[in-house]
């Protein structure tokens, strides 16, 4: 690390600027508004992220506690939920509190913008090496901080630096996601659980703009799961044409 960069010691560096990382930065700045907080992410924002895009009501409650009150602005609430069991039994009804479906490209960018508005600094950087010293933590020899928060996902470099093994079989899932025309009728979130590949399920979450976030995922419990299998299961369970995927 150069002398100039060595003098630049952040109070907190957050590795990963997704919802967990942005929320961590917001929490630090809520407790200490004068803290020097660095957000590091491998992507520029806004950026897409494979996800179901479903935002549960308690997530919005947590964000409100971080003084972020409008992350769902311009999106319609979804009041109904339908569940189908692996045996085919179906239940449906109104949720006590509505959920939202917000593409991660929009939702994540809003949280990053909120953190930056409070004073966090965002740099694009992929962290590969974490070194601990008595008075600081260094990231790739390019950044230094008094504390580091690892919010960098399933293949976390921060976790590896602590000697924590990768997720064992049965503790990591893989999924395929697409956007398709939303089903007709009243908007509802649909979850279809299936015994094939259990635990596994397909989903269809209406965004409110005529599209639905659709996908299928299952837990990795041995042999790798191919994209062809994920696509076939999504088509089978939800009737999504293959050319949409």
Transcribe 199-222 into DSSP letters: SEEEEEEE-SSSEEEEEEEEE--S
Query: Hey, is 3 helix, strand or coil?
Result: helix
Whole-number Å distance between alpha carbons of 56 and 58 = 6
Which residues, in sequence order, are CB contacts of 237 under 8 Å at separation 6+?
192, 194, 202, 216
All structural domains of the chain, each given as residue ranges with its CATH number in brackets, are 3-53+105-161 (3.50.50.60), 79-99+169-244 (3.30.9.10)
Tens-level pLDDT at each residue, the chain (245 residues): 445 544 689 999 999 999 999 999 999 999 999 999 999 999 999 999 999 999 999 999 999 999 999 999 999 999 999 999 999 999 999 999 999 999 999 999 999 999 999 999 999 999 999 999 999 999 999 999 999 999 999 889 999 888 888 777 777 889 999 999 999 999 999 999 999 888 999 999 999 999 999 999 999 877 788 999 999 999 999 988 777 76
Instruction: Taking the CA atoms of 99, 104, 106 and 107 in sequence, report the sign of the dihedral they define.
Output: positive
Residue-by-residue DSSP string for 169-210:
TTS-EEEEEEEEEPPSSS-EEEEEEESTTSSEEEEEEE-SSS
């Amino acid at each position: 690390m150069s002398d100039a960069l060595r003098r630049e010691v952040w109070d907190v560096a957050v590795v990963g600027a997704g919802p967990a990382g942005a929320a961590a930065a917001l929490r630090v700045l809520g407790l200490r508004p004068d803290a020097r907080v660095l957000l590091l992410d491998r992507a520029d924002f806004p950026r897409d992220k494979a996800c179901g895009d479903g935002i549960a009501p308690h997530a919005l409650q947590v964000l409100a506690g971080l003084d972020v009150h409008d992350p769902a602005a311009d999106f319609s609430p979804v009041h109904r939920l339908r569940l189908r069991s692996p045996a085919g039994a179906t239940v449906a009804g109104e949720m006590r509190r509505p959920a939202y479906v917000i593409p991660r490209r929009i939702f994540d960018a809003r949280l990053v913008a909120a953190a930056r508005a409070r004073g966090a600094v965002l740099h694009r950087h992929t962290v590969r090496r974490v070194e601990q010293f008595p008075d600081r933590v260094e990231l790739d020899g390019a950044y230094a901080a008094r504390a580091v928060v690892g919010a960098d996902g399933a293949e976390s470099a921060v976790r590896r630096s602590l000697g924590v093994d990768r997720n064992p079989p049965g503790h990591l899932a893989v999924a395929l996601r697409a956007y398709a025309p939303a089903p007709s009728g009243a908007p509802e979130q649909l979850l279809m659980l299936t015994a094939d590949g259990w635990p596994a399920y397909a989903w269809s979450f209406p965004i409110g703009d005529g599209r639905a976030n659709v996908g299928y995922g299952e837990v990795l419990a041995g042999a790798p799961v191919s994209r062809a299998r994920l696509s076939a299961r999504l088509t089978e369970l939800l009737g999504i044409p293959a050319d949409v995927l």
